Amino acid sequence: MENARPNWTSRFAFILASVGSAVGLGNIWRFPYIMGQYGGAVFLFVYLAIILTICFIPLVAELAVGKITQKECIGAYESVSPKLKIIGALNPITGILISSFYFVVGGWIINYIVLGFINPSVNDYAQYFTNFTQNPVSTCVYTILFLFICIFFTARGIKKGIEFANNVLMPLFAVILVGLIIFSLNLPNAYQGLEYMFKPDFSKICPQMFLAALGQALFTLSIGMGALLTYGSYIKEDKSITKSAYTIIFSDTLFAIMAGIMIFPAIFSFGLEPNSGAGLVFVTLPHIFSQIPHGNIVAIAFFLLLSAAAITSGISILEASVAAFIERLHLSRMKSSILLFCIVSSIAIPASLSFGVLSSFTIAGRGIFDFLDFATSNLLMPLNTLFLCILAGWFLKIKGKMFINNEFIAKIFDLGLKFIVPIILVFLLYIGLR
């Protein structure tokens, strides 16, 4: 049995795994479609402003809490007071709820890879997507398959599982992404897509855009459910947290922009609309692929890219709970992974059925899948981030000067951690609950 407190083999392994956690469906599926809904470049500018300033603070805080306490989420809160255990437990609970809809999308991706290989002549991808998501057997099977792939790596432990998966999948991801960008930029009228991404129309700015950008930034950086706290707790030596945080933010943002550069030129080249929402990747893009020579190869490459990103993120979502089970329930890593597999399946299966047989079952007016997405992204992740800032700033008394050399910036960090970010998060929660 692997001991309960493993460590990363190197600083590089830690950064790669954290970037692997951050870069996921949030970058390639969610970011382009939200950008499409909010009018392109202007959203990008608002998003960049938020991710480079406000998000840096909770990101450093989450990594630092893990590193300083050397505990998983529940233990980190418990180290201040046993009564705070419950608050810490909200992290793995959030992770289980996120995985339950994230893995459904992971299942769709695997299905589209298979589709690329069997290459049927699909004429109408909107219809295909609806039929597939309404078919109870196939959605369940693919969801469980995706969950199984991710849990397989967490069950194997830090070095043989998590590091191995990131070492293989992240380079694969980067290579395919660059290849697809070259392909996309060579399509006729590709420049229109670039214009849409980089030429802002500031008249489209609106308050909801700021909230959408902040919510997206927290989600894409994996802040607010304990994944990075757990990864931070596996850091042993004194490694610079701020440098790691910058690397994570920089790489995540770069990959999100690259995903846009891959997707928008293709969309504009085919005269399609960029604001088709969540179906952008599963309906609009496959439609484009089906119209180009050897499109199924491009489609396979694209969905392989998505699966690589989703697996490395999915692993980190699961690891927060696996670590909590190992340390709280004193189970082996294997047993913790099996337990988590059973728990996540029991929620993910109903979520995957919520587009078909369970579509009439709603919670607070939403289908199960939509409710899980809404409850985690708009409520639980901001709430956990709020608790984290309070834990780090007020209880553990984490100060900017511990990692930042510039005194002025360190002071701003302290102010941000104790006041500014918590106030913004309370506001976000208020709006999210309305």
* Number of continuous H segments (helices) and E segments (strands) in the chain: 21, 2
Instruction: For ligand PHE, give the closer residue by CB, 249 or 404.
Output: 249
Question: What's the CA gap between 226 and 211, in Å, rounded?
Answer: 22
Instruction: For ligand PHE, give the closer residue by CB, 392 or 404.
Output: 392
Binding site for ligand PHE (CB under 6 A): 21-22, 24-27, 98, 219-220, 222, 225, 227, 313, 316-317
Find residue 367's DSSP bridge partners: 362
State the nearest-atom distance from the C-beta of 388 to ligand PHE, in Å.
13
State the nearest-atom distance from the C-beta of 223 to ligand PHE, in Å.
7
339: number of Cβ within 10 Å:
15
State the nearest-atom distance from the C-beta of 316 to ligand PHE, in Å.
5
State the nearest-atom distance from the C-beta of 348 to ligand PHE, in Å.
15
State the nearest-atom distance from the C-beta of 397 to ligand PHE, in Å.
26
Question: What's the CA gap between 125 and 404, in Å, rounded?
Answer: 50
Instruction: For ligand PHE, give the closer residue by CB, 25 or 404.
Output: 25
Instruction: For ligand PHE, give the closer residue by CB, 20 or 286.
Output: 20
Concatenating the DSSP letter of every residue in 205-245 gives --HHHHHHHHHHHHHHTT-SSSHHHHHHHT--S---HHHHH
**Residue 369, Cα to own-chain centre: how many angstroms?**
16
Instruction: For ligand PHE, give the closer residue by CB, 215 or 422.
Output: 215
Classify 367 as helix, strand or coil: strand
Instruction: For ligand PHE, give the closer residue by CB, 142 or 219.
Output: 219
State the nearest-atom distance from the C-beta of 317 to ligand PHE, in Å.
5
272: number of Cβ within 10 Å:
16
SS (H, E, C) 103-167: HHHHHHHHHHHHHHHHCCCCCCHHHHHHHHHHCHHHHHHHHHHHHHHHHHHHHCCHHHHHHHHHH
